[in-house]
Amino acid sequence: MLSEREDNFRGLAVKLFEIGAIKFGDFKMKVGVNSPVYLDLRVIVSFPDVMTTVVNLIDDIIKEHNIQYKHVCGVPYMALPVATLVAMKNKQPMLVRRKEPKSYGTKKIIEGKFNAGEKCLVIEDVTSSGSSILETTRDLRAEGLVVSDAIVMVEREQGAILNSKKNGMNLIPIFTLSHLLKLLQEAEKIDEKIVESVKKFINSCQIHDDGTLVDPSRNFVNELSRTTMSFEARSELAQAPLAKKLFNIMIIKQSNLCVAADLSKADHILNIADICGPYICILKTHCDIIEDFSENFIQSLQMLSKKHNFLIMEDRKFADIGNTVYLQYTQGLYKISKWADIVTVHALPGQSILQGLKTNLDQPEKRGVFLLAEMSSQGNLINEKYKEATIKLATDSNDSDFVAGIVCQTSDCFSFPGLIQLTPGVRIENSHDDLGQQYQSPEDVVKIKGADIGVVGRGIYEAKCIDKACILYRDRLWAAYCDRIESNH
């Protein structure tokens, strides 16, 4: 039987994973190395149950280690709310360290009432080198306070304990990263490969307290980079339920082909859907080009999507304010939210566009969006800054469970393995059309440009033999994906 305390640890570990406070993939670190793990405890303030568990576990540590203190001080900013709750739980006073001294008046850096010689406990959210704790400690000590203990929620085991000790600090974690990994693996949230990749990272990336690498000559290669991982492994890391579903379809059908059925007659689209259905993971529509759009058409299309197990993506490219996209998505002639599993969305209006689309959705977990970060048309106006902001919206916002993927043209556009790259503009021959469309071969889009799914429109629906063309694209795109992951093992 697990003790209640162990149960709390396990429950908290799983919850941290589920709310995206711990992520696995490919993340750039301050020290200039790419880490396979990222801790973002900022999100916990939105989960009172998580805050309560964290505070109780900190209180257990205080009692167990018999830590004596008069004041509690959180390392700014993210440990402040937790430090406040810890202080209030034991009815003890707090101190607040400013990040910068006041530029006027008292120029104080430590706020709160204290006397020299009193003891202060420091609280932090995440440590890697431990340098943030040491900065706060230095300022508290400069005021005459006695500081020798710090409690951290997650210790990444990259040197913080040693660096703290050298500076006379005893650092006690709720979780070490290894403990978190163990619990997540036991709960079947992550697999052996992820655990091993993170362990290799910790071994080769130890950091001094000045933020420099202990051994810069060690060459670390992150094994969790998106384009080298299998769809199976990536599916475990996906935040959006719809991304998991799509990964699953791709794996079962061994297909990463999306057909763009850009036809203006409902019957023609249904015909393409029935012929291509067995070989595709997504059928993409532009419903506003269909002359005889009807409820019957949608019912038939949905039947075919069930029969052949593909998802329907309406390439609507929403781009308006939240309230308008909510209406465009749910009302009007097309009532897109009723039938499209996925819609495409511009990031231009910001987070409100995702919130608008999510408004009043019956089963939001059954719907998802692909955000547009790049376009295949010659001379398009998207620049690097816009692209980066789009990816931030997909990965960092509260709506990351609604974003299944990114529509883009290059592999370095984003690195999070839980998102799916959809790339339009695919044809057997690298070529272009007369209206700015630029094509790349299936091999180029998957192996060079990082596409997980290739979109083929005219290359298939204008072919003499549609089923043969469909099989050809399916085979070439899938083989390119298999080559891509194999060549990295």
CB of 141 to ligand 5BU, least distance (A): 56
- Does 315 bind ligand 5BU (CB under 6 A)? Our answer is yes
CB of 221 to ligand 5BU, least distance (A): 31
- Does 359 bind ligand 5BU (CB under 6 A)? Our answer is no
- Does 424 bind ligand 5BU (CB under 6 A)? Our answer is yes
**ω into residue 38 within 30 of 0, thus cis?**
no
Q: What is the DSSP string of 424-470?
A: E-B-SS--B-TTSBB-B-HHIIIIIS--SEEEESHHHHTSSSHHHHH
**d(C-alpha 281, C-alpha 270), whole Å:** 16
Return the sign of the alpha-carbon dihedral for residues 230, 231, 235, 238.
positive
Binding-site string for ligand 5BU from residue 236 to residue 275, where x marks contact by CB under 6 A and - marks none:
------------------------x-x-------------
Q: Which residue from 308, 244, 231, 298 is spatially nearest to 467, judged by alpha carbons?
A: 308
122: which strand partners? 73, 150
Window of 206-214, 245-253, 391-399, 450-458 that interacts with ligand 5BU by CB under 6 A: 450-458
133 versus 422: smaller Cβ distance to ligand 5BU? 422
Segment 376 to 415, residues that bind ligand 5BU, using CB under 6 A: 376-377, 407
Residue 179: which H helix or E strand, with range? helix 177-186
Please check whether residue 432 is in contact with residue 438, taking contact to mean a CB–CB distance below 8 angstroms.
yes
- Does 372 bind ligand 5BU (CB under 6 A)? Our answer is yes
Window of 94-102, 206-214, 263-271, 371-379 that interacts with ligand 5BU by CB under 6 A: 371-379
225 versus 271: smaller Cβ distance to ligand 5BU? 271
Residue the block writes with tokens 């006690």: 172
Helix (H, G, I), strand (E, B) or coil at 26: strand
Strands 22-28 and 34-39: antiparallel
- Count of residues binding ligand 5BU (CB under 6 A)? 17
Segment 51 to 90, residues that bind ligand 5BU, using CB under 6 A: none
CB of 438 to ligand 5BU, least distance (A): 9
Window of 18-26, 195-203, 369-377, 477-485 that interacts with ligand 5BU by CB under 6 A: 369-377
CB of 469 to ligand 5BU, least distance (A): 12
CB of 455 to ligand 5BU, least distance (A): 5
172 versus 471: smaller Cβ distance to ligand 5BU? 471
Please identify which of the residues 70, 182, 200, 317 carries the catalytic annotation: 317
Please check whether residue 148 is in contact with residue 170, taking contact to mean a CB–CB distance below 8 angstroms.
yes
**d(C-alpha 312, C-alpha 305), whole Å:** 7
Window of 30-38, 47-55, 387-395, 456-464 that interacts with ligand 5BU by CB under 6 A: 456-464
**d(C-alpha 486, C-alpha 489), whole Å:** 5
**d(C-alpha 74, C-alpha 48), whole Å:** 18
Which one among 272, 275, 455, 469 touches ligand 5BU, defined by CB under 6 A? Answer: 455
- Give Dmax (Cα) for the chain: 86
Six-digit token pair at 410?
A: 């290059």
Which one among 145, 236, 457, 469 touches ligand 5BU, defined by CB under 6 A? Answer: 457
160 versus 456: smaller Cβ distance to ligand 5BU? 456
- Does 443 bind ligand 5BU (CB under 6 A)? Our answer is no
- Does 375 bind ligand 5BU (CB under 6 A)? Our answer is yes
CB of 283 to ligand 5BU, least distance (A): 11
Residue the block writes with tokens 């700015």: 436
Window of 156-164, 172-180, 451-459, 463-471 that interacts with ligand 5BU by CB under 6 A: 451-459
- Does 459 bind ligand 5BU (CB under 6 A)? Our answer is yes
Q: What are the start-end ranges of the E strands in 16-81?
A: 22-28, 34-39, 71-74
- Residue 317 annotated in active site: yes
**d(C-alpha 480, C-alpha 230), whole Å:** 12
**ω into residue 77 within 30 of 0, thus cis?**
yes
Window of 30-38, 295-303, 449-457, 474-482 that interacts with ligand 5BU by CB under 6 A: 449-457
Please check whether residue 222 is in contact with residue 197, taking contact to mean a CB–CB distance below 8 angstroms.
yes
Q: Which residues contact 29 (CB under 8 A, 6 or more apart)?
A: 35, 128, 205
CB of 425 to ligand 5BU, least distance (A): 5
Q: What is the DSSP string of 290-336?
A: -TT--HHHHHHHHHHHHHHT-EEEEEEEE-S-HHHHHHHHHSTTT-H
- Does 130 bind ligand 5BU (CB under 6 A)? Our answer is no
Residue the block writes with tokens 């059928």: 283
Window of 93-101, 167-175, 197-205, 373-381 that interacts with ligand 5BU by CB under 6 A: 373-381
- Does 337 bind ligand 5BU (CB under 6 A)? Our answer is no
- Does 456 bind ligand 5BU (CB under 6 A)? Our answer is yes
Which one among 36, 418, 425, 442 touches ligand 5BU, defined by CB under 6 A? Answer: 425
Six-digit token pair at 272?
A: 């393409």
Task: State which amino acid sits at residue 274.
Answer: D
Task: Give the footprint of ligand 5BU on this chain (CB under 6 A).
Answer: 260, 262, 286, 315, 372, 375-377, 407, 424-425, 437, 455-459
Q: Known catalytic residues? A: 317
